[in-house]
Amino acid sequence: MITIIPVKAAQSEQEEADFYKSLKAQTSKEDVYQIGEEGKEYPESRIIITLPNNCLVLGNSWDRYIDYALDHDQIIDEALIIRRMGLVSRPDNGVFKGLTITIPSSKQTVATTE
């Protein structure tokens, strides 16, 4: 399971709605991710990705690529997540403030963007 933790960044309800809509529309199948909350633990998750809730997820079947990287011990970093999820920031400056990637099985945060 992939856990997505949204960080408040949307300037309007429409931006936030677009985030959730794009996240769901680009998955390869149903029930591949869950929405989490900051401060909670998700031991059943293979990866926890914290994202600003004003970006768009445009990477087709993004979940499949992340699972593949986890299954094959590839390096999972900010660039892989941005590329595979097809993240587009708002405003379009390429900055994803608050992007954090955590692998619970290794109990470490592997990438953080301030």
> Each residue of 9-37: pLDDT tens digit?
999 999 999 999 999 999 998 889 999 99
pLDDT value of position 13: 96
pLDDT value of position 43: 86
Q: Are 45 and 33 a contacting pair, CB within 8 Å?
A: no
pTM of the model: 0.89
Q: How confident is the model at residue 113 (pLDDT cuts 50, 70, 90)?
A: low
Total Cβ atoms within 10 A of residue 73: 7
Torsion of CA 69, 94, 34, 58, to 10 degrees: -80
Question: Which H or E run contains 65?
Answer: helix 62-71
Q: Domain range for residue 27? A: 2-112
Q: How many domains does the chain have?
A: 1
- Structure letter (DSSP) for residue 113: -
